[in-house]
Amino acid sequence: MNKKEELENLNKKWSLECRCELKQTAIQAVPGDGNPDAEIVFIGEAPGKSEDEQGRPFVGSAGKFLAEMLTEIKLKREDIYITNIVKYRPPNNRDPLPEEKASCREWLEGELEIIEPKLIVLLGRHAMNNFFPTEQISRAHGKLLVKKFPNISTKYFFALYHPAAALYNGSMREVLMEDFKKIPKVLKEIQKREK
């Protein structure tokens, strides 16, 4: 079985078994999407309205902005894999609750286990705090974070402001775009460290 099939099976399994309360209010689950052999996995917070309707992550305005930034570093959406810590849309796009994050955690870990990326890019504070609970996004953004977790092959994480937050804040947008341009250098740095 190839990684694509493994991910399809994982998504089928968890869309049935996931105990997340958000299932009650969301239209559907929004599993990750993209290249199963990606070197980079982007992890956001939770699906929004467009994502809930289409069943794909990052298809709204934040997704378009992300696609523009990927183009800047010579990547396409098809080159990466993108997912969220929570697989169902919180009502009115509110922040996901700790128990909602916890109930979707095994699903996320399953995705990461199959893909085995070299780098995990954390989009926003919720994604970052899922792995680094004591970090602050204002201090950690644009920096390589290294931490070993059980069930996750990579130990390299890169925190960024969330594209949705940056859309409405000009200074944050500039910071995010500058940080984003560091991704190719960060990948090279990881390759050096892994030799």
pLDDT in tens, 13-23: 999 999 999 99
- What is the average pLDDT score of the chain? 95
Q: What per-residue confidence (pLDDT) applies to 102?
A: 95
Q: Which of 43-52, 121-130, 186-195 has the lowest mean pLDDT?
A: 186-195
Helix (H, G, I), strand (E, B) or coil at 146: strand
Q: Which residues contact 182 (CB under 8 A, 6 or more apart)?
A: 142, 158
Confidence of residue 94 (pLDDT cuts 50, 70, 90): very high
Cα distances from 77 to residues 58, 73, 141, 180, in angstroms, run 10, 11, 22, 14
pLDDT at 1 exceeding the cut of 90: no
Distance of CA 59 to the CA centre of its chain: 13
Q: What per-residue confidence (pLDDT) applies to 151?
A: 83
Average pLDDT over residues 98-110: 95
Q: C-alpha dihedral over 8, 11, 14, 16, to 10 degrees? A: -80
Whole-model pTM: value is 0.96
Confidence of residue 167 (pLDDT cuts 50, 70, 90): confident
Confidence of residue 113 (pLDDT cuts 50, 70, 90): very high
pLDDT at 76 exceeding the cut of 90: yes
Q: What share of the chain has pLDDT > 90, as a percent?
A: 91
pLDDT at 145 exceeding the cut of 90: yes
Q: What per-residue confidence (pLDDT) applies to 91?
A: 94
Fold annotation for 3-194:
Uracil-DNA Glycosylase, subunit E (3.40.470)
